[in-house]
Structure 1
Amino acid sequence: MTTLKSTLDTASDEYAANRDSMLGKLAEVDAEHAKAIAGGGPKYVERHRNRGKLLARERIELLIDQDSPFLELSTLAAYGSNYAVGGSVVTGIGVVEGVECMIMANDPTVKGGSSNPWTARKVGRAMDIAVENRLPMINLGESGGADLPSQKEIFIPGGRMFRDLTRMSAAGIPTIALVFGNATAGGAYVPGMSDHVVMVKGQSKVFLGGPPLVKMATGEESDDESLGGAEMHARTSGLADYFAADEQDAIRIGRRIVARLNWQKKGATPAPFVPPRYDEEELLGIVPGDLKIPFDPREVIARVVDGSAFDEFKPLYGSSLATGWASLHGYPVGILANARGVLFSEESQKAAQFIQLANQSDTPLIFLHNTTGYMVGKDFEQGGIIKHGSMMINAVSNSKVPHISILMGASYGAGHYGMCGRAYDPRFLFSWPSAKSAVMGPQQLAGVLSIVARAAAQSRGQEYSEENDAAMRAMVEAQIEAESLPMFLSGMLYDDGVIDPRDTRTILGLCLSVIHTTPVAGADGFGVFRM
């Protein structure tokens, strides 16, 4: 076992500047998180409370085991859009009666909990996680169905949720619906397609069409209770399996349902472990505010893995990518961490071999991103950077062990792919507030466009305006910078959340525990590596 020795100088001006920069970015993230937690705002929160109802996160807090963590996912969904931050739904992983479950709770303070396009994307991501990691699904429902003005964006993809509920049931993954209010139109199919359904006396209203629609469609006069009330569904239609006296009773029943599932993990149990030797608080001062300045990812690893122990693989070869073995909360892991940004042929080949070894030993992989991509230039092209980079991407693509990605700094170009970006289906992907991700850096992208425009003008025999060029470059740089930032990418659901660096070890531990709900097994083959 090799224990990492930190050289981080926490008394230096550089550390202080890095820490201040990170805290400033964290404050911006916290402000957006606060918007998601606020839901529809004080007016609608007060209206909801006056009806004697709990808020979405209060329902979750009562549902999960006392003092257990809740790993909220996609908190910033819809950031930068015309919809409320959070996507009008709360999703995350919590422990209920000792069982890790995927929990989804509509936020009825945001347009009555109606689903918009971002709701559908966020729910889809949560269900993917539940299926891949074999997590029972608990829906805490109170929704008016689709947000009708955006129906063209929600109707077609929204049907996926019902399909996935039935497929989960067919795969033996339990689905539970606790209905706290309206479950109208499409929302009615959530209890309709769940394995276990609880409805609340005097609150639950589950129907395909409410009284006004029934009146318009058939001329029939009806009321909420006879058309879709909890007691009617418990006594007459049979849709409700349990009839709860109030919200707290519904949550109690939901917990008892989970307790009776006889749910067992199928993966390995963690070994005893010791915490890192270095303070997680120091993670705030490692990443520079300017990502052009390199930093040593081993300083991060030393504050995340058990005992700060890291057995490095090929430390003298391909040194701008650190690879090695460690354990985290008692689970064995392999780690790939960018050390100096650029990936060369040596790093690519080293990564491909390391990923193969992890698959041979059924070891999950953690990718720590800070890369500007694969190296370009005549010598590197002639040296085979394309085929070597392709080897790394091939290995990542065909690896079967679970992957977790953390974007700490830059994650540009095909380097984002080789380090298992979102398109490569990591089980989980989180960003630090310092992260940036795009095709390339803003200055490089603007410069490329400038060169292309200048060449085009020259080919046409036209004079090139330096003033227009400067304006174009400034505009492009500002746009790419804004679109590279982690809150923008998180709003697009390109990660599972922007996290405080100090929470990295805890979040990775939660994810590894979830991953081991299923057996971990490596790939049998990797296709053709172009040598």
Structure 2
Amino acid sequence: MTALRTSVDPAAEDFAEYRDAMLTKLDELETEHAKAIEGGGEKYTERHRKRGKLLARERIELLIDEDSPFLELSPLAAWGSDYKVGASMVTGIGVVEGVECMIIASDPTVKGGSMNPWSVKKGFRAADIAAQNRLPTINLVESGGADLPTQKEIFIPGGRTFRDLTRASKERVPTVALVFGNSTAGGAYLPGMSDYVVMVKEQAKVFLGGPPLVKMATGEESDDESLGGAEMHARTSGLADYLAVDEEDAIRLGRSIIKRLNWNKKGPSPKPSYSEPRYDAEDLLGIVPTDLKVPFDPREVIARVVDGSDFDEFKPLYGSSLVTGWADIHGYPVGILANARGVLFSEESQKATQFIQLANQSDTPLLFLHNTTGYMVGKNYEQNGIIKHGAMMINAVSNSTVPHISVLMGASYGAGHYGMCGRAYDPRFLFAWPSAKSAVMGGQQLAGVLSIVARASAESRGQAYDEDQDAAMRAMVEGQIEAESVPTFLSGMLYDDGIIDPRDTRTVLGMSLSAIHNGPVEGARGYGVFRM
């Protein structure tokens, strides 16, 4: 039998402590998510409703199949910035007529849905996910275009939005625009470059320049409807493929378009039947210690995530700080790499390299469960080749072509973040638990390094070292690193695709794997030079 056994005791004192700490973090996270859901606030929400319009999330709810889940992505984008949490946009994966689609919805209650720098970055991330996983894209459009005061940060990179649409069409991955309101200036190219366009009668307005700009540029008098109204585009310009009588009709037409795509997944299907994990997902709340220096056994996480808690561990007696092995999640095969004791040594690096190569040979997606402080440092480890062995692991991750998913459970520091497929290594999806932290190193270590360097510099100049100033510097640096390594900050920077409740990990991974299998799953056919 390869089913994992558990040693978690829900009645233990430390379990209760960890659980309470995680629940506190989840409550704090819920408060931040509420800010994204409220959009522009009550005043602008009511103004929008008085116009007879649906909110962005209401449009999404009507669009996706009844009682189907919606995997929202980057909900905390722009957190900690001067812009509204959520970046005036909702993105995520939903099932429409049985087809998994990337859905991107403007939030018109936030400055009329205008795009700020974080909206652009969030849209880019959604486009990357759609392209990598071969997902049709549905844009729910109601936007005033660029937020003009920040145009210098939007105009140049923003053109990529339209490039991505045309490239998706070239790859035979459909794009659909449902236009509910304004889509002006550069935003007019969003429907203009989509494969299918639906416009709502007497609501949709699509033009390169509105009446005031046309008046200034040409002296011509015009009105919104004749210049860019839905009926004009349906009857005269031909930009609209379908004219909807209202928002519900537009959503019905959008669903009908997806139904007629004759869409088929290119990846292998999941196993037709599978078992749920043997252990309760509730236990995941009490597994991660409040002090991330304290290790925990990732097998306890794996046992509550994989089908039947069945896990075939690979090389269990070698490089034991990294757990590797094979399992299924919702019927999809996966290879799992999970940090056990934080530090990655040469043995762990070589073990990971071999395991990643094996996954590529068998076309098996990889799941990385992070809790690492990085690669080991010290004279003996340097002399024994930790750099070249770590480089082997990073080489393997970099050139692996099977889909990767990363989940940051605890620490994810230094080059260990890279070796475990951090954001820069293009995992298809990267999620974080509320307990996660990520930075070049821990705040205490970083402050200590700066202190040692400053002390040595003072001594070399023959100056006395100011201990009070050193203590103040340490406190400031530790506080800064702590603030910049918490998941809300990183999520706001779009360094993950969302912070998830640990209890939802299996569901989120299942939805991600299902989306991934819209495209082919193929391993690498070659690698670069490994320093042996």
Corresponding residue number in structure 2 for 1:340: 341
Corresponding residue number in structure 2 for 1:190: 190
Residue 406 of structure 1 aligns to a residue whose secondary structure is strand
Residue 313 of structure 2 aligns to a residue whose secondary structure is strand
Q: Map 1:435-454 onto structure 2 (within 5 A).
A: 435-454=436-455
CA deviations on 1:227-286 (whole Å, 9 max, x unpaired) are 100000001110000000000000000000000111111111111100000001110000
CA deviations on 1:295-336 (whole Å, 9 max, x unpaired) are 000000000000001110011110010000000000010000
- Aligned equivalents of 2:114 and 2:519: distance in 1? 33
Corresponding residue number in structure 1 for 2:76: 76
CA deviations on 1:416-450 (whole Å, 9 max, x unpaired) are 00000000000000000000000000000000000
Structure 1 unaligned spans of 5+: none
- Aligned equivalents of 1:117 and 1:529: distance in 2? 40
Residue 527 of structure 1: CA displacement? 1.3
Superposition TM-score, scaled by structure 2 size: 0.99
1:269 aligns with 2:269: yes
Corresponding residue number in structure 1 for 2:168: 168
Residue 182 of structure 1 aligns to a residue whose secondary structure is strand
Corresponding residue number in structure 2 for 1:429: 430
CA deviations on 1:330-382 (whole Å, 9 max, x unpaired) are 00100000000000000000000000000111100000000000000001001
One-letter identity of the residue aligned with 1:170:
K
- Aligned equivalents of 2:172 and 2:237: distance in 1? 25
1:500 aligns with 2:501: yes
One-letter identity of the residue aligned with 1:145:
G
Residue 139 of structure 2 aligns to a residue whose secondary structure is strand
Q: Map 1:412-491 onto structure 2 (within 5 A).
A: 412-491=413-492
Kindly report structure 1 stretches of 4+ aligned residues shifted beyond 6 Å.
Answer: none
- Aligned equivalents of 1:401 and 1:410: distance in 2? 25
Residue 490 of structure 2 aligns to a residue whose secondary structure is helix
Residue 64 of structure 1: CA displacement? 0.3
One-letter identity of the residue aligned with 2:443:
P
Residue 373 of structure 2 aligns to a residue whose secondary structure is strand
- Aligned equivalents of 2:132 and 2:421: distance in 1? 17
One-letter identity of the residue aligned with 1:81:
S
Corresponding residue number in structure 1 for 2:366: 365
Residue 519 of structure 1: CA displacement? 1.4
- Aligned equivalents of 1:28 and 1:293: distance in 2? 23
Identical columns (%) = 80
Residue 511 of structure 1 aligns to a residue whose secondary structure is helix
Q: Map 1:64-463 onto structure 2 (within 5 A).
A: 64-271=64-271, 272-463=273-464
Residue 276 of structure 1 aligns to a residue whose secondary structure is coil
One-letter identity of the residue aligned with 1:328:
I
One-letter identity of the residue aligned with 1:514:
A
Residue 503 of structure 1: CA displacement? 0.4
Residue 221 of structure 1: CA displacement? 1.0
Residue 287 of structure 1: CA displacement? 0.3
Residue 28 of structure 1: CA displacement? 1.1
Superposition TM-score, scaled by structure 1 size: 1.00
Residue 5 of structure 1: CA displacement? 0.3
- Aligned equivalents of 1:156 and 1:527: distance in 2? 34
Give aligned pairs, total. 531
- Aligned equivalents of 1:186 and 1:384: distance in 2? 53
- Aligned equivalents of 1:443 and 1:270: distance in 2? 45
TM-align CA RMSD: 0.5
Residue 32 of structure 1 aligns to a residue whose secondary structure is helix
Residue 220 of structure 1: CA displacement? 1.1
Residue 494 of structure 1: CA displacement? 0.4
Residue 363 of structure 1 aligns to a residue whose secondary structure is coil
Structure 2 unaligned spans of 5+: none
One-letter identity of the residue aligned with 2:215:
K
- Aligned equivalents of 1:152 and 1:162: distance in 2? 18
Residue 451 of structure 1: CA displacement? 0.4
